[in-house]
Amino acid sequence: MKAVLVSIVSGGLVGVLAVTLFAVPALSEKKDVVRAGWTPRQVLVVTRDVSQGESLSADMFKQSDLPEQFTSDSFVPADDQAIVVGTKVSLPLMAGDVLSWSAFIDQARRAAVTECIGHIRQGVTEAGARAEADALARFQQQLKKLPSPPALHSPTSTEGHVLIVVAGADIREGALLSEEQLAGRRVPKELVTRSHVRATDLAALVGARLLVPLQAGDPLMWQVLDDPDAPQSSLGCVNEIKKAREEARARSSSEAATAFLGATGTP
Amino acid sequence: MSSPLKIALGAVVGLVGGSTVAGLVAGFLSYVSVRKQEHQSRTSWPMVDVVVAARDLAPGSVLGENALSARSVPEAMVTASIVTPEKAAYIAHQRLEVPLRAGDPMAWTFFETAYVAPEESDVAAACSAAIDSAPNGPKRERSSADIRARIASGRRP
């Protein structure tokens, strides 16, 4: 009996020893992993506000520790302090900012963009304004040619409910409506006004332009629809003018910028 | 008198039992120890949530929804220059002017809007495109290493 007990105890001790031999290095390794991201790494922190274009001097920053997991190679390490002293910063800095290499980004490109904008700004603005005026004139011209809007429909029902048209799915602003995007919904007639589009008028909606975005289930109303070929609502007018201005500005910007760079050679 | 079979069986029982108990104890102690280590590391750095780059981002890229993320960083890194999560909407869809690594905090000065009026963003985009396509136009610095190399070589910004 005693020999059996001795064998059990011996076996137990061997088991404990084996687990300990495995666990100690594993635990140590795990702790190293946890600690790894938190090992301090020295970075440079600005001690006062620095204006764009100001040269950095040694008294404008100090060394400070941060956990290494937060200090990518985007940040200037303390070891590179000598490199940045005397260098002008391209971006304004605030006291307490950790110094990153981005603060010294090459300004040549930004200067070229700024110069280009300054050169073409007026022409682009004028092109946009002309497009706006033209779009407005076209809109006014169309208004004169248009017949009077059709009389709004009034809902009638003898059953207490009216079948109206709703958006069957989300529909973006400016979309031309198709039957697949629309659905019918029966609602109490007390909730229906003359603005709501009844299901019996569904055919009139197909091909109309939606002036506002709708979410699935939103009821269609005559006020948010317009004729795509001859817009006559004020919102349609605004959208047309905005579109014309943006297109004109984009065209003018592209042409003017290319011409400017062509004329100046290397910016 | 114990038989050799009983002795061997006892050794196996002891081995299994001892390993199990030691394993459970070691697992518990390891868990407590690692959590303690983690807690000590974290509590020595008060943390604040900021907006960071969700992945490496090149200058000139327009920030889509997947480009931004929130991350807790040491409070010592955060000044008014850094974008906080409640203001993230202001930088969404803006054009980035500097290279960033995944996890780098976003600063307000990193964007084109820092020097271009919002209503002129279309003009700036046209100028940028024209400059990029010009063979001798100034190119964007693609990484921090590029910036460091230029400064180290004596060419100042």
Is the pLDDT assigned to residue A154 strictly greater than 50? no
**What is the average per-residue pLDDT within A157-169?**
83
Give the global pTM.
0.67
**What is the average per-residue pLDDT within B74-92?**
94
Q: Does B21 touch chain A (CB under 8 A)?
A: yes
pLDDT over 90 for what percent of chain A?
Answer: 46
pLDDT in tens, A52-109: 999 999 999 999 999 989 999 999 999 999 999 999 999 999 999 999 999 999 988 8
pLDDT in tens, A133-153: 998 888 777 766 654 444 444
| Predicted local confidence at residue B6, as pLDDT | 81
Q: Does B32 touch chain A (CB under 8 A)?
A: no
Which band of pLDDT confidence, cut at 50, 70 and 90, is reported for residue A155? very low
| Predicted local confidence at residue A57, as pLDDT | 94
Average pLDDT, chain A: 85
Q: Does B111 touch chain A (CB under 8 A)?
A: no
Substitution target from A30, A55, A63, A72 for chain B, most B beta carbons within 10 A = A72
| Predicted local confidence at residue B104, as pLDDT | 96
Does the beta-carbon distance from B17 to A11 stay under 8 Å?
yes
Which of A2, A23, A97 has the CB atom closest to B79's CB atom?
A: A97
Residues of B in contact with A51 (CB under 8 A): none
CB within 8 Å of chain A, chain B residues 88-107 = 97-104, 107
SS3 of chain A: the string is: CHHHHHHHHHHHHHHHHHHHHHHHHHHHHHHHHHHHCCCEEEEEEECCCECCCCECCHHHEEEEEEEHHHCCCCECEHHHHHHHCCCECCCCECCCCECEHHHHCCCHHHHHHHHHHHHHHHHHHHHHHHHHHHHHHHHHHHHHHCCCCCCCCCCCCCCCEEEEEEECCCECCCCECCHHHEEEEEEEHHHCCCCECEHHHHHHHCCCEECCCECCCCECEHHHEECCCCCCCHHHHHHHHHHHHHHHHHHHHHHHHHHHHHHHCCC
